Chain A
Amino acid sequence: MGYVAVRGGAAAIENSEKFSLVRRAGGASGLLTPEQIREQLYFAVDRVMGEGSLYAPDLAALAFKQAAGDSFEAAFILRSYRTTLPRIGYSEPVAPDGMRVIRRISAAFKDIPGGQILGPTPDYTLRLLDFELQEESAARTRQQIRQLLRETNRLDPLPERFPKVVELLRREGLLVRRHASGKDRGLTDITRQALSFPAPRSAQLQSLARGETGGMLALAYSNMRGYGSVHPVIGELRVGFLSVPFRNPRSGSVECIGEVLVTEAEVIARLAEAEGPARFSLGYGLCFGHNETKAIAMAVLDRAMSGGEPAAPSEDQEFVLTHVDGIESMGFCNHYKLPHYVTFQSELDRLRRIQAGSGLTGEENP
Chain B
Amino acid sequence: MTPGLPSRAGTPPADWRDTRPPAGGRYSYAFLDEGAKREIRRRILKAAAIPGCQVPFGSREMPIARGWGTGGLQLTLSLIGPEDVLKVIDQGADDSVNAVNIKKFVTRVTGVAVTTDTAAATMIQTRHRIPEEPLQPHQILIFQVPIPEPLRLVEPSERETRRMHAEADYSRMWLYLYEDIVKFNEITVGARYPVLVNCRHLMDPSPIPRWDLAKLHQGEALFLFCAGREKRIYAVPPHTEVQPLSFEDFAFRVEAFAGRRCARCGSGGTYLDEVIDDATGRRTYACSDTAFCEKARRSCGAAEDSPTREGIA
Residues of A whose CB lies within 8 Å of any CB of B are 1-4, 6-14, 17, 76, 79-84, 86-87, 191-198, 318, 322, 327-328, 330-335, 338-343, 345-350, 353-354, 357-359, 361-366
Question: How distant is the Cα of A92 from the Cα of B181 in the complex, in angstroms?
Answer: 59
Tier of interface size on chain B: 35 or more
Answer whether A350 and B190 are a contact pair too, CB < 8 Å, given A339-B98, A345-B209.
yes
Q: A357-B185, A359-B185 are in contact. List 8 more A-B contacts (CB 8 A).
A: A6-B95, A9-B96, A9-B99, A83-B60, A327-B61, A335-B67, A348-B274, A350-B189
Interchain CA distance A83-B21 in the complex, whole Å: 13
Point out the residue from A194, A332, A347, A362 that lies within 8 Å of B191, measured CB to CB.
A347
Q: Give the residue name and chain of the B residue nearest to A191 (CB).
A: B58
A233–B33 CA distance with the chains assembled, in angstroms: 45
Q: Which of chain B's residues have a CB closer than 8 A to the CB of A334?
A: 65, 67-68
Q: Is the CB of A13 within 8 A of B100?
A: yes
Q: What residues of chain A lie closer than 8 Å to B164, measured between beta carbons? A: none
Q: Is the CB of A80 within 8 A of B61?
A: yes
On whether A331 and B66 interact (CB within 8 A), knowing A9-B95, A13-B101, A198-B159, the answer reads yes
Smallest distance from the beta carbon of A355 to chain B beta carbons, Å? 10
Q: Contacts A193-B58, A332-B229 known; A361 to B249 CB distance under 8 Å?
A: yes
- Chain A residues near B33: list those with CB within 8 A: 84, 86
Report whether B146 and A84 are in contact in the complex, using a CB–CB cutoff of 8 Å.
Answer: no
B83-108 at interface with A (beta carbon < 8 Å): 90-93, 95-101, 104
Secondary structure of the A contact surface, majority rule:
helix
Question: Is B225 in the interface zone, CB < 8 Å from A?
Answer: no
A residues less than 8 Å from B185 (CB atoms) = 354, 357-359
Known contacts A364-B254, A365-B254; is-contact A335 B191 (Cβ 8 Å): no
Cβ of A238 to closest chain B Cβ, rounded Å: 30
Chain B residues within CB distance 8 Å of chain A: 2-5, 13, 16-17, 22, 25, 27-28, 31-33, 35-36, 39, 56-63, 65-68, 70, 90-93, 95-101, 104, 127-129, 146, 157-159, 162, 184-192, 207-211, 214, 229, 231-232, 249-256, 263, 269, 271-279, 284, 286, 288, 305
In the complex, what residues of B have CB within 8 A of residue A346's CB?
190-191, 209-211, 255
The answer, among B68, B263, B276, B279, for a CB contact under 8 Å with A335, is B68
A82 and B61: CB pair below 8 A? Answer: yes
State the CA gap A80–B99 with chains docked (Å). Answer: 20
* Cα of A6 to Cα of B274 in the assembled complex, Å: 14
Q: With the chains together, A13 CA to B16 CA distance in Å?
A: 10
Residues of B contacting A347 in the complex (Cβ-Cβ under 8 angstroms)? 190-191
Q: Which of B58, B100, B208, B277 contacts A10 (CB 8 A)?
A: B100
Task: Select from chain A the residue with minimum beta-carbon distance to B35.
Answer: A87
Are B278 and A342 within 8 A (Cβ)? no
Residue of B nearest to A333 (CB): B67
16 A-B pairs with C-beta separation under 8 A: A1-B275, A6-B91, A7-B3, A7-B93, A9-B97, A13-B101, A76-B61, A80-B63, A192-B58, A327-B61, A331-B67, A345-B272, A346-B255, A359-B185, A361-B251, A363-B252
Chain B residues lying within 8 Å of A192, measured Cβ to Cβ, are 39, 58
B99 touches A343 (CB 8 A): no
Contacts of B60 in A (CB 8 A): 83, 191
Q: Chain A residue with minimal CB distance to B263?
A: A1
Q: A354–B184 contact, CB under 8 A?
A: yes
User: Is the beta-carbon distance between A1 and B17 smaller than 8 angstroms?
Assistant: no
The residues of B that contact A333 with a CB separation of less than 8 Å are: 67
Identity of the chain A residue whose Cβ is nearest the Cβ of B192 in the assembled complex:
A343
CB distance from B289 to the nearest CB of A (A): 10
Which residues of the partner chain B approach A86 to less than 8 Å between Cβ atoms?
Answer: 33
**Chain B neighbourhood of A364, CB < 8 A:** 253-254, 256
Q: Is there an interface contact between B251 and A363, defined as CB atoms closer than 8 Å? A: yes
Across the interface, which residues of B come within 8 angstroms of A327, CB to CB? Answer: 61, 65-66
**How far does the alpha carbon of A333 sit from the alpha carbon of B146 in the complex, in Å?**
11
Minimum Cβ distance to chain B for residue A227 (Å): 17
CB distance from B36 to the nearest CB of A (A): 8
| A10 and B158 in contact, given A194-B231, A328-B66, A346-B255 (Cβ under 8 angstroms) | no
Q: B57, B95, B255, B279: which contacts A194 (Cβ < 8 A)?
A: B57
Q: How far, in Å, is A42 (CB) from chain B's closest CB?
A: 23
User: Given A83-B60, A363-B252, A364-B256, does the pair A6, B97 have CB atoms closer than 8 Å?
Assistant: yes
**Is the pair A345, B274 in contact by a Cβ cutoff of 8 Å?**
yes
When chains A and B are docked, how far (Å) is the Cα of A13 from the Cα of B14? 13
